[in-house]
């Protein structure tokens, strides 16, 4: 393979000149089509595709983007993709990577919503989904193994990673876990250097982050019918505030659309979240499903825009800070802690997924075969997902 020419882009990170926007779009369209299993699986597949297979970004830079995405609201795996697009091709890369990852899932979810409206229930695909989950688990395990080798650079960071895992198991929120991990790493470095000066951290001002979001909200809401404008604003608010898992998203959706606006029934809400969980791509495309239920295709479009726009804006504002943080030894040590904390969260998700999905001889067999295929034979994750889906289809027939 020819060596790619290296250059410094506007974020300050090293990017490959030969990564075109078309290549970026193709890769993220592919990921958005096959990335089943939620944010942990999405991040694992991005690592496989972008770090090890294509070498577009180093493991260290990839881990920094994962850590940064964990510290801002919104869909974390989508924001990792947006961060990477920004680091490779600047503002145009930011838009292309994010949109390409979202669009396949949004289209699929809209089709499922149309079927739901027509038939009154969800298409049944339990057999396929049951078989895919063990393959997804194998992909997550491989990513944790590879990224863990890079992230746990010292014994202190390894200990922080273990403590963060236990803290998350004990019920601590993801944001609290990341705060603990970053603070612990920073304090450890302060103690090691016996300097009592405050950490030189790079902060993100909440007011200027929310200001462009507010301006966008006003502009869009003023140009559309009242119901669509209200729908857009509701999802813009949710996308600006939600940290954590799909369960946190469920709480926000229930409060807004069931309890406050009375636009959805409890059953419709649960079905919407289920679609977001079992379709590929971002879990936040639950918004697309709800938007379609409420106002058809225009509702799906406005709901999707509303929930994802904040993520693009948060990344746009904070993306340039990552290289500055890395240039500060003190702030860099805090980011190192956040990195291992992020991997701890992924490890807990993998454990929970394993408990829920490895339930019989078939799922055990798929997991074992997938682990061997991905570690020993380096099989691409897309083929693993496809093969597992076929096995599930045959087993259910």
The pLDDT, as a whole number, for residue 355 is 86
The pLDDT, as a whole number, for residue 224 is 54
The pLDDT, as a whole number, for residue 277 is 67
Q: How confident is the model at residue 39 (pLDDT cuts 50, 70, 90)?
A: confident
pLDDT in tens, 271-292: 787 677 668 888 899 999 999 9
Structure pTM?
A: 0.69
Q: Cα-flanking dihedrals φ and ψ of residue 7, to 5°? A: -150, 160
Q: Cα-flanking dihedrals φ and ψ of residue 15, to 5°? A: -125, 165
Q: Dihedral of CA 8/10/12/13: which sign?
A: negative
The pLDDT, as a whole number, for residue 140 is 80
Q: Is 340 helix (H, G, I), strand (E, B) or coil?
A: helix
Please state, for a pLDDT cut of 90, what percent of the chain lies above it: 35
Q: Is the pLDDT of residue 207 over 60?
A: no
The pLDDT, as a whole number, for residue 273 is 73
Mean pLDDT, all residues of the chain:
81
All residues at 6 or more sequence positions from 347 whose CB lies less than 8 Å from its CB, including other chains: 144, 165
CB 43 within 8 A of CB 346: yes
Q: Is the pLDDT of residue 219 over 80?
A: no
Q: Is the pLDDT of residue 6 over 50?
A: no
The pLDDT, as a whole number, for residue 112 is 87
Q: Is the pLDDT of residue 199 over 60?
A: no
Phi-psi map region of 281: left, alpha, beta (phi>0 left; psi -120 to 50 alpha): left
HSE-up of residue 383 (Cα within 13 Å, Cβ side) = 9
CA distances to 251, 279, 289 from 122, rounded to whole Å, are 22, 12, 11
């Amino acid at each position: 393979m020819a060596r790619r020419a290296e250059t410094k882009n506007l974020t300050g990170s090293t990017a490959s000149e030969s990564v075109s926007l078309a290549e970026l779009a193709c890769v993220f369209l592919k990921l958005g089509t096959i990335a089943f299993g939620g944010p942990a699986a999405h991040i694992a597949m991005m690592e496989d595709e972008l770090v090890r297979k294509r070498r577009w970004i180093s493991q260290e830079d990839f881990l920094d983007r994962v850590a940064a995405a964990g510290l801002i609201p919104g869909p974390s795996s989508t924001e990792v993709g947006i961060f990477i697009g920004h680091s490779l091709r600047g503002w145009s890369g930011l838009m292309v990577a994010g949109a390409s990852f979202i669009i396949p899932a949004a289209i699929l979810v809209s089709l499922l919503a149309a079927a739901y409206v027509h038939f009154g229930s969800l298409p049944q695909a339990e057999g396929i989904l049951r078989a895919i989950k063990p393959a997804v688990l194998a992909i997550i395990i491989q990513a944790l193994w590879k990224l863990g080798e890079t992230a746990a650079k010292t014994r202190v960071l390894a200990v922080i990673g273990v403590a963060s895992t236990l803290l998350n198991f004990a019920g601590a929120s993801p944001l609290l876990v990341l705060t603990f991990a970053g603070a612990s790493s920073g304090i450890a470095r302060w103690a090691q250097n016996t300097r009592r000066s405050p950490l030189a951290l790079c902060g993100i001002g909440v007011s200027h982050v929310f200001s462009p979001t507010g301006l966008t909200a006003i502009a869009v809401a003023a140009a559309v019918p009242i119901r669509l404008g209200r729908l857009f604003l509701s999802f813009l608010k949710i996308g600006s505030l939600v940290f954590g898992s799909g369960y946190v998203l469920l709480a926000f959706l229930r409060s807004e659309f069931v309890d406050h606006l009375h636009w959805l029934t409890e059953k419709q809400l649960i079905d919407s979240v289920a679609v977001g969980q079992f379709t590929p791509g971002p879990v936040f495309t639950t918004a697309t499903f709800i938007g379609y239920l409420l106002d058809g295709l225009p509702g799906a479009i406005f709901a999707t825009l509303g929930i994802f726009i904040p993520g693009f804006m948060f990344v746009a504002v904070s993306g340039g800070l990552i290289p500055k943080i890395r240039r500060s030894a003190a702030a860099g040590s805090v980011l190192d802690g956040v990195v291992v904390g992020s991997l701890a969260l992924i490890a807990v998700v993998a454990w929970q997924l394993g408990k829920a999905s490895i339930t019989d001889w078939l799922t055990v067999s798929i997991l074992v075969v997938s682990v061997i295929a991905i570690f020993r034979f380096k099989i691409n994750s897309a083929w693993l997902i496809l093969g597992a889906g076929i096995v599930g289809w045959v087993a259910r027939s």
